[in-house]
Amino acid sequence: MRYTYKNPENCPVTKIMSVVGGKWKFIILYIIRNSPKRFGQINQFIPSISNKVLTEQLRELEDDKIIQRRVLTDRIPVNVEYSLSAKGKQLVPLIELMGQLGENIS
């Protein structure tokens, strides 16, 4: 079925790209797709991202209900881990397909 949208703001692709688009968000989602990760672990996978930008990206993903933030109070110092929310888990097939496509691009 083909969809045409006279107003690009109503396009579903535009909507999803407004949530997960940008340089780092999809990479963050790729990193946490299988298991929760702490801030430092995510940062190790993306050494070129600054702490400030990583914090902003994580907050935006959390605000959009794509990821969830869990404070681990049983550890000293207190740690925070990030995982996909139910909404974020719906993106896993797309995330993994993009990973596979990326491996085949030369």
Condensed to tens digits (0 to 9), the pLDDT of residues 69-101 reads 999 888 788 889 999 999 999 999 999 998 899
Condensed to tens digits (0 to 9), the pLDDT of residues 33-83 reads 999 999 999 999 999 999 999 999 999 999 999 999 999 888 788 889 999
pLDDT of residue 25 exceeding 90: yes
Architecture of the domain made up of 24-104: Orthogonal Bundle (1.10)
Q: How far apart are CA 38 and CA 2, in angstroms?
A: 41
Q: Is 94 left (phi over 0), alpha (psi -120 to 50) or beta?
A: alpha
pLDDT at 57: 97
Domain ranges of the chain: 24-104
Could you give the dihedral angle defined by the CA atoms of residues 103, 34, 49 and 20, in that order, rounded to the nearest 10 degrees? 80
